[in-house]
Amino acid sequence: MNAARLDALARPTRQTAEVGQTLSIHRLNLFYGAQQALFDIDLELPAQRITAFIGASGCGKSSLLRCCNRLHELIDGCRMQGEIRLGERNIQQEDVTELRRRIGMVFQKPNPFPGSIWQNVAFGLRIAGIRRKRDLDEAVEQALQGAALWDEVKDRLHSPAFGLSGGQQQRLVIARAIAIEPQVLLLDEPCSALDPISTLKIEELMFELKSRFTLLIVTHNMQQAARVSDVTAFMHQGRVVEFSPTDTLFTRPAQQQTEDYITGRYG
Ligand SMILES: Nc1ncnc2c1ncn2[C@@H]1O[C@H](COP(=O)(O)OP(=O)(O)OP(=O)(O)O)[C@@H](O)[C@H]1O
């Protein structure tokens, strides 16, 4: 039953070159020096769906997310075994800059660059080779529309990004990430620094974005995982205990450990 539902969820709703692709993780083990943090992870994260990683603090959610765009390589002594494929391509064999263009990331704390709202969004587009002002203006508007921020900032595009509220900054960072049309968007607790209204806006935005991207979200908030995601992976001490359609995982978990966690018996 679960396998059939996962299989149905794994079918993208739209097939073009632009849309998200399945991220397949095979036999992944991760070490920080001598300490092993992730054990034998095998997951197929479906395209054009939202997958949530949940689990108690320290279970390895962020470590797993970081492996997906090779950010773990920036940590001294960190070593990954196993394989991650985006579509047909092994991400280890990609140019890392190009990989991070295709797999964007949004962090817990909004991190706009110093500079204007316009400059923040245009940054990646310029690196991607777009030079003409008119083309940049158009792409910046499109990305801000896509991040549901355009109406709030269209009259102050050249004001400092730091003048925006925390929730607006987070949507700006999402606009910056989607401007360069990634295939996957990794979100590491994107709402944990935000108030409930801004959180709602980001959740609605994620829902919009999933028609174009493959989304992975790490969240401590189980209600949020239940509200926004299609598929959920519950992790415990570096292992995936259960990976199921979200409604199944939260209403009829297959594992006792999952049930204990979602009913608040530990964690
Ligand atoms: N840079 C690092 N160096 C050494 N060990 C690390 C590093 N980052 C994480 N770890 C260890 O890896 C394990 C998993 O940590 P990770 O941050 O991935 O968990 P998490 O589930 O995301 O936690 P949280 O919910 O608190 O953010 C922990 O034991 C942690 O101490």
Q: Domain segments of the chain: what residues?
A: 2-111+184-262
**Cβ of 63 below 6 Å from ligand 1:** yes
Nearest CA to ligand 1 atom 1: 75
Three-state SS for 90-157 is: EHHHCCHHHHHHHEEEECCCCCCCCCEHHHHHHHHHHHCCCCCHHHHHHHHHHHHHHCCCHHHHCCCC
So what's the ipTM on this one? 0.98
* pLDDT at res. 166: 93
* pLDDT at res. 246: 97
Place of tokens 């925006």: 164
- Which residue, 13, 25, 4, is CA-closest to 235? 25
**Cβ of 58 below 6 Å from ligand 1:** yes
Ligand 1: atom nearest CA of 66 is 18
* pLDDT at res. 1: 43
**Cβ of 182 below 6 Å from ligand 1:** no
* pLDDT at res. 155: 98
Place of tokens 């991070």: 100
Question: pTM of the predicted model, to two decimals?
Answer: 0.91
Question: How many whole angstroms from 31 Cα to the centroid of ligand 1?
Answer: 11
**Cβ of 67 below 6 Å from ligand 1:** no
Question: How many whole angstroms from 57 Cα to the centroid of ligand 1?
Answer: 8
pLDDT tens for the chain, 267 residues long, are: 456 666 666 655 444 444 678 999 999 999 999 999 999 999 999 999 999 999 999 999 999 999 999 999 999 999 999 999 999 999 999 999 999 999 999 999 999 999 999 999 999 899 888 999 999 999 999 999 999 999 999 999 999 999 999 999 999 999 999 999 999 999 999 998 888 988 998 999 999 899 989 999 999 999 999 999 999 999 999 999 999 999 999 999 999 999 999 998 765
* pLDDT at res. 5: 64
* pLDDT at res. 249: 97
**Cβ of 77 below 6 Å from ligand 1:** no
* pLDDT at res. 66: 97
DSSP 35: E
Question: How many whole angstroms from 77 Cα to the centroid of ligand 1?
Answer: 14
DSSP 263: T
> Of the CATH numbers 3.20.20.70, 3.30.420.40, 3.40.50.300, 3.50.30.30, which one belongs to the domain with range 2-111+184-262?
3.40.50.300
Query: Which whole-number Å values give the CA distances from 30 to 9, 25, 168, 178, 205, in the listed order?
Result: 28, 12, 34, 28, 32
By most ligand atoms within 8 Å of CB, the mutation choice from 32, 35, 38, 216 for ligand 1 is 32
Angle made by CA atoms 186, 238, 57, in degrees to the nearest 5: 70
**Cβ of 75 below 6 Å from ligand 1:** yes
* pLDDT at res. 128: 84
Nearest CA to ligand 1 atom 14: 60
